[in-house]
Amino acid sequence: MGVGHPECPERLVAIERALKRQGLWSELEHQAPEPIDVQWLKLAHTEDHLRRLAVPVPVGTFRHIDPDTCMNAQTYEAILLASGAVVQAIDAVMAGRTRHAFCAVRPPGHHAERGAAMGFCFVNHIAVGALYARQKYALERIAVIDFDVHHGNGTEDILANEEGLLMVSLFQQGIYPGSGTRPKGPNMGNVALPAGAGSREIHAMLEETWIPTLNAFEPQLLLISAGFDAHRDDPLAGLAFTEDDYAFITEALVAVADTFCPGRIVSSLEGGYNLDALGRSVAAHIAQLQR
């Protein structure tokens, strides 16, 4: 995205470093992704949007989508690899090769709408994955959980009113992108949290809203838009989550998956811009997925 941009390559370095420091890295099975077949992206995006993304960007230049979102010569390939990682992970959990998978991908995806890139996002990897899983595996109940601090407007845009799909999300009220308070469909469970919300609010929200909603849905697959920018140290927002809160959320989602799926969780990185907090939070998330 350019020098000084918060959505930077060092984010993945910080995650790897934290996983190694905590002894998790060597215990995980690592898989390199293949680029996704563009045909699958058409489940979630318009042909016009995909055609615009595929126009080559000359080396050493940037193509700006909005003031915060731009492509360089490698961005398109990174997008295809990121979506490829998610569908590859879905294939792995559906085949029973693993119960849980985490995709450490960039750029993120949950702001990308059916026909528009925005907010550091170009293709909506989790929405693509949800529609891919519904079509390829004929699943009837897929749950998408989004705990990034920003509302997943793109995922809502693509999945609202789609049969067999439920989305629950939390976000900080009143910040970018400003959506979420009026859900676009009956399958959208959006929870707006006030600035400063932390452990107490998260525990209450999970117990009163998310978990009963997910249990009533009886999902056959859980897909997580895992943003870690609700952390109290994150520079882009004003919630007060800690690593323990990410562990708590993940543990609760694992329990849902164990009850209904069994297992079958694919989590994909979205936001998280304080490098130390991001590394520790992803490690807390993965430690619970690993159980």
Give phi and psi for 157, each to the nearest 5.
-60, -40
146 binds Zn ion (CB under 5 A): no
In the bound state with Zn ion, the residue whose beta carbon lies nearer, of 164 and 227, is: 227
Residue nearest to Zn ion (CB): 271
The residue count for binding Zn ion (CB under 5 A) is 5
First to last CA, the chain: 35
Active-site residue, 111 included:
yes
Catalytic-labelled residue, pool 45, 49, 111, 150: 111
Contacts of 104 (CB under 8 A, 6+ apart): 12, 15, 16, 269, 282
Nearer to Zn ion, 164 or 271 (CB): 271
Indicate whether 129 belongs to the interface with Zn ion (CB under 5 A). Answer: no
| Closest C-alpha to 286, from 90, 93, 28 | 28
Beta carbon nearer to Zn ion, 53 or 239: 239
Interaction pattern, residues 172-211, with Zn ion; x per rule: CB under 5 A: ----------------------------------------
Minimum Å gap between C-beta 189 and Zn ion is 18
Tokens of 209: 């809203």
Tell which one of 164, 180, 271, 279 touches Zn ion (CB under 5 A). 271
The span from the CA of 45 to the CA of 277, in Å, is: 32
CA angle 283, 200, 108 (to 5 degrees): 40
Q: Does 150 bind Zn ion (CB under 5 A)?
A: yes
- Contact segment (CB under 5 A) with Zn ion among 97-105, 201-209, 214-222, 269-277 equals 269-277
At residue 2, what are phi and psi to the nearest 5 degrees? 115, 160
User: For the residues of 84-144, what is the DSSP string, one character each?
Assistant: HHHHHHHHHHHTTS-SEEEE--SS--TT-BTTB-BTTBSS-HHHHHHHHHHHHH--S-EEE
Interatomic CA distance for residues 254 and 215, integer angstroms: 12
Out of 7, 148, 157, 201, name the contact with Zn ion by CB under 5 A: 148
Answer yes or no whether residue 227 interacts with Zn ion by CB under 5 A: yes
In the complex with Zn ion, the residue whose CB is nearer, 121 or 130, is 121
Q: Which of 7, 156, 201, 229 binds Zn ion (CB under 5 A)?
A: 229
Q: Which is nearer to Zn ion, 129 or 227 (CB)?
A: 227
Structure tokens at 291: 């159980």
Q: Could you give the residue numbers annotated as active site? A: 111
Chain contacts with Zn ion (rule: CB under 5 A) = 148, 150, 227, 229, 271
